Amino acid sequence: MNRDKKGNKNRWGRFRVDQKWLRPEGGTPSATDEEWSTEEGRGDFVSFVDRLLAEARRKRKPANGIVLPEYALDWSTHDALVRHVRDHHPSIEFVISGVSRDCNGLLGNFVVVSTLYTNSFGERVAATHSRRKHHRWQLDGQQIESYGLQDELSTKCVWWEYLEIGHRIIHMDVFRNRSALTAVICEDLARVDPALSLIRSLGPNLVFALLMDGPQLAFRWPGSYAASLTDDPGSSVLTITCAALIDRSNASRKAAGLKRGPRSIALWRHHLRMGSAAPPYQGTHQLTLLPN
């Protein structure tokens, strides 16, 4: 229990995200296995992505990049995916994902960016780096009810993501020799922060915002903050969230007798467009973005 300066009681707590979806049995890591995923599970995921990329090629729409939302993977799964696409999918130029452990083995909420290219020796290589999330996620009672988390978290508390916050770090990656990209995590897109000022100063061509959020629509907060970057410095911004949270939100709306919201997992904004949501059909496993 926390008290403010006037002596009033403020109920608050801390939460972590357990990535049980990475384990086929939905269990927790054992003392000898620090990753959420298993070797078998990682292999299944890589094979799954491989089939999606093959289907895109079959439709003559080969993918150039792979982007996954906040907390989608752990480090070992990301690394396994990057090694596979490096060796088998030459069209892929970058892989970006939210992970629970960085490439140095530290736990937390990280974004990992791997850029793939052919070096001067003719070898296809992957350059990878990671950074921590800069701001904690706050969950209030309305969000807890919206995402159907009442069995896990009390709606009478304000809950904060249990994270270590370190120094502000922003990475810029150059690809195709003349373009630059960067990636941010959820609240990092919205907060007035030195890192965001640096993004405005450098002006990357592409900004990827990895989220755990509801539908990605132009009038919601990710769309509004993405619009500020498309106006100044003129970046193109992709916000992407996980379909599961949208599904949980829609299930709560249905239980309350409300209309389901759109299942829009991504929003693309650039200076020539106000923004376009991209809703997949129920059961869709990939979303291919073809910006004009």
**Domain residue ranges in the chain:** 37-132, 167-274
Phi and psi at 89, nearest 5°, equal -135, 85
> What pTM did the predictor assign?
0.90
Tell me what pLDDT residue 258 has: 86
116 neighbors 82 (Cβ within 8 angstroms)? yes
pLDDT top residue among 30 and 163 = 163
In the predicted structure, residue 290 carries a pLDDT above the cut 50: yes
pLDDT, average across residues 164-190: 91
Query: How far apart, in whole angstroms, are the C-alpha atoms of residue 120 and residue 235?
Result: 30
Mean pLDDT of the chain: 87
pLDDT, average across residues 177-185: 93
